[in-house]
Structure 1
Amino acid sequence: MKLQVEQAKEHIGKKFPYSYTISSEELGSDLVAFPWSRHDITISGEFWFDGQNYIVLGDIDSKGDYECSRCLQQTEHERHDSFEEVFSDSRTPSDDVVPFDGEDIDLTELIRDTLIINEPSQVVCQDDCKGLCVHCGANLNVSPCSCESFVVDPRFAELRALLDEKDDRLS
């Protein structure tokens, strides 16, 4: 994915839009472990020349087949990531500016890095996902389990026994 920037240099400050839809394979064959690697990726944004550098802004829309962090069910999760980078065809090195050959800016590495860095650590199938029962492992979104909902910490078992005795006497 390359941006042709010759025209931007002639029109300082004018913003040029771009939009691409690519397969994840175009970002590299070593990304198959990522959930979004089996779906197309849409990149859109704009770039301009400010008189010295090329500023590139962009949004990446992707989706992937993730495992819910609470109930472990497969769920499709849509992502929206953004990036901003400054490029220069100057031969003067700088920490804030990415060098390029002066003809076109290759966004492949920037998009790849943005997707990897922003990979979500947890995905849930729905905001109110109930997860799995900690005792029997039943998916609580499907149906409630028959496990006792109130489990006493073993350190307080003796106190619980006293409460149970009191309840038995009152009945």
Structure 2
Amino acid sequence: MMKINVLQAKKEIGSQETFEFVTSAGEIDLEDESPWTGSEIKVDGELTNNGRVLKIKGVIHATAKYQCSYCLEDFTTQMDIPFGDDYQENSSEEVDEEADLAYYNGDEIDIADLVRESIILAEPLKIVCSKSCRGLCPQCGINLNTAKCSCSDDVIDPRLAVLSQLLK
């Protein structure tokens, strides 16, 4: 559970409190096959009462294990994922469906869903071990980051071979 006690913060406008949690992928219901499985997830943040809402913001520090899309090598990377949301106490007559707010009841806010969502949204679309990754040779399949192959660079796709005649 990642619950923040907001009892003191609700009493005083302008009050700020810090919080810290250490959790794992399993505890916040991330899938078993996720790159976060087996690593410690640390959450640091701050709760602020601005008079209208309780603002929660912070950073998630986690280590992910991926396979590079170019060279297929496994690698580990440290990610710092920012997160934040505004919370308003849920009173039955004041729920505004169009407002970009999260609601809470009582004296605690559970941020597990916010943390899980932030981690999922931070997943990269293209997973690359480094900006300079050269990938695999398309002819022989050797990892070009660790070895040099003797394959020719001027191999022409057979479907386009007819076009090479135009250059002659």
TM range (shorter): 0.7 to 0.9
Query: After the TM superposition, which segments of 4 or more aligned residues of structure 1 sit over 6 Å from their partners?
Result: none
**Distance in 2 between residues matched to 1:106 and 1:48, nearest whole Å:** 15
Aligned-residue offset at 1:97: 1.4
- CA RMSD in angstroms comes to 1.6
Q: Which moved more, 1:30-39 or 1:107-116?
A: 30-39
**What whole-Å deviation, never above 9, does each CA across 1:60-112 have from its counterpart, x for those lacking one?**
11111100111010000221211110111132112321111131000001111
Q: Is the 8 A contact 1:88 1:102 kept in 2?
A: no
**Which structure 2 residues correspond to residues 30-69 of structure 1 after superposition, within 5 A?**
31-69=31-69
**Distance in 2 between residues matched to 1:48 and 1:14, nearest whole Å:** 6
**Distance in 1 between residues matched to 2:73 and 2:35, nearest whole Å:** 14
Paired positions, count: 160
**Distance in 1 between residues matched to 2:26 and 2:119, nearest whole Å:** 13
Q: Is the 8 A contact 1:77 1:123 kept in 2?
A: no
The TM-score, its normalising length taken from structure 2, stands at 0.88
In percent, how many aligned pairs have the same letter?
31
Q: Does 1:140 align with 2:144?
A: yes
Q: Larger radius of gyration, structure 1 or 2?
A: 1
Larger proportion of helix: 1
Match of 1:2 in 2: 3
SS in 1 for 2:46: strand
Unaligned runs of 5+ in 2: none
**Which structure 2 residues correspond to residues 95-114 of structure 1 after superposition, within 5 A?**
95-114=99-118
Unaligned runs of 5+ in 1: 163-171
The TM-score, its normalising length taken from structure 1, stands at 0.86
**What whole-Å deviation, never above 9, does each CA across 1:13-57 have from its counterpart, x for those lacking one?**
1211111111111101x5112111221111111011122311101
